[in-house]
């Protein structure tokens, strides 16, 4: 079940959104980690633009602004800080659900780099027509490496921590070893290399 972070200062709208999302198979959460963020701009304390900017420092989850701020300038700022969509209130529930579904589908669509595919929706990897199942940790590690190519241990650990998957360095080493064996089993040997003193290269 995909988790949607709802940041909305109007309690009635927040409850309305949570009810809508949960009736359509999503889990509404009050803070990251999440699979998609639904942000108002006018929030007490930190505004939605700042929240989006901070999310983008460590995450590429889709972000939708849902706000009464309807000027072109605000929309430009929203996309500038990393939003994927900008919807003005009052919103149409069917359109909002369609846009959420489209972004989540894109987020979990298979990624292919140098012949190796990763599908986060099925937690599997494929190479040369051969497929292997992955654990959630293994899939997140592979996704991190495929995206950045060179990742420090700290970056991988932070990525897993942000997804509520706490691991330490020893556990990371075990997961990397198992992931390498699984990739070797489908003919994708040598894709993950250790960079001494730094981390891992894809």
> Which CATH number characterizes residue 54's domain?
3.40.50.2300
Give the Cα separation of 122 and 115 in Å (integer).
Answer: 18
Which secondary structure element, helix H or strand E, spans residue 3, and what is its range?
strand 3-7
pLDDT at position 166, please?
A: 56
pTM over 0.95: no
| Number of structural domains in the chain | 2
The whole-number average pLDDT for the span 30-58 is 90
Are 7 and 103 part of one and the same domain? yes
Share of the chain above pLDDT 70, in %: 96
Are 138 and 160 part of one and the same domain? yes
pLDDT at position 146, please?
A: 87
pLDDT at position 56, please?
A: 85
With a cut of 80, say whether residue 112 has pLDDT above it: yes
Are 34 and 8 part of one and the same domain? yes
Are 7 and 97 part of one and the same domain? yes
The whole-number average pLDDT for the span 71-84 is 94
The whole-number average pLDDT for the span 97-102 is 94
Contacts 24+ apart (CB under 8 A), 90-94: 91/66, 93/20
Instruction: Find out whether 111 and 143 touch, Cβ atoms under 8 Å.
Output: yes
Are 46 and 99 part of one and the same domain? yes
Write the CATH number for 143. 1.10.10.10
Are 99 and 127 part of one and the same domain? no
Are 8 and 85 part of one and the same domain? yes
Give the Cα separation of 134 and 178 in Å (integer).
Answer: 9
Are 95 and 177 part of one and the same domain? no
Are 103 and 16 part of one and the same domain? yes
Domain enclosing residue 67, as ranges:
3-107
- Residue 92: DSSP 8-state: P
Are 84 and 102 part of one and the same domain? yes
Instruction: Find out whether 64 and 35 touch, Cβ atoms under 8 Å.
Output: no
Phi-psi region of 65 (alpha: psi -120 to 50; beta: other; left: phi over 0): beta
Boundary-marking domain end, from 75, 107, 139: 107
Boundary-marking domain end, from 107, 126, 145: 107
Per-chain mean pLDDT for the chain: 89
Are 69 and 152 part of one and the same domain? no
Boundary-marking domain end, from 107, 136, 152: 107
Are 89 and 166 part of one and the same domain? no
Report cis status (omega within 30 of 0) of the bond before 90.
Answer: yes
């Amino acid at each position: 079940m995909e988790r949607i972070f709802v940041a909305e200062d109007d309690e009635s709208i927040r409850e309305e959104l949570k009810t809508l999302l949960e009736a359509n198979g999503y889990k509404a959460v009050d803070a990251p980690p999440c699979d998609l963020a639904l942000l108002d701009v006018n929030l007490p304390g930190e505004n939605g633009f700042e929240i989006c900017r901070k999310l983008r420092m460590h995450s590429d989850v889709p972000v939708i602004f849902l706000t009464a701020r309807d000027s072109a300038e605000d929309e430009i700022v929203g996309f500038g800080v990393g939003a994927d969509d900008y919807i003005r209130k009052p919103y149409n529930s069917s359109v909002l659900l369609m846009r959420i579904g489209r972004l989540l589908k894109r987020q979990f669509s298979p990624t292919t780099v140098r012949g190796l595919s990763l599908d986060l929706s099925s937690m599997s990897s494929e190479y040369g027509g051969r497929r292997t199942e992955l654990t959630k940790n293994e899939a997140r590690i592979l996704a991190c490496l495929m995206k950045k190519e060179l990742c420090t241990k700290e970056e991988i650990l932070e990525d897993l921590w942000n997804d509520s998957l706490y691991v330490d360095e020893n556990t990371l080493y075990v997961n990397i070893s198992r992931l390498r064996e699984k990739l070797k089993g489908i003919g994708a040997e040598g894709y993950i290399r250790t960079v001494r003193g730094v981390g891992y290269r894809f």
